[in-house]
């Protein structure tokens, strides 16, 4: 389901992935476009901060189901 705002997508992701780390999900998806560079940096962050699978799932959910880039450019 495509959410109209990133905030809505974050809240939906946190409901779907209850063990996800809220701050990690919010920060990782702030103003990011889903690109190869973003994915490479995301993997480095995952390793550095020891994010769990639910946190990664929530981040991916937000990137797939929000208009994060459109909010930044507006």
Using a cut of 0.75, tell me whether the model's pTM lies above it.
Answer: yes
- Cβ–Cβ under 8 Å, residues 5 and 67: yes
Distance, in Å, from the CA atom of 24 to the CA atom of 45, rounded to the nearest integer, reads 9
Q: Tally Cβ neighbours within 10 Å of residue 30.
A: 13
pLDDT of residue 32: 65
pLDDT in tens, 21-64: 999 999 998 876 667 788 888 889 999 999 999 999 999 999 88
Give per-residue burial for 33-62: e unless 16+ CB within 10 Å, then b: eeeeeeeeebeebbeeeebeebbbbbbbbb
């Amino acid at each position: 389901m495509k959410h109209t705002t990133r905030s809505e997508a974050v809240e939906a992701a946190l409901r779907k992935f209850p063990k996800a780390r809220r701050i990690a999900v919010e920060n990782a998806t702030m103003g990011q476009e889903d690109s190869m560079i973003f994915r490479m940096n995301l993997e480095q962050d995952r390793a550095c901060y020891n994010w769990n699978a639910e946190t990664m799932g929530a981040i991916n959910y937000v990137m797939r189901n929000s208009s994060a880039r459109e909010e930044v450019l507006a």
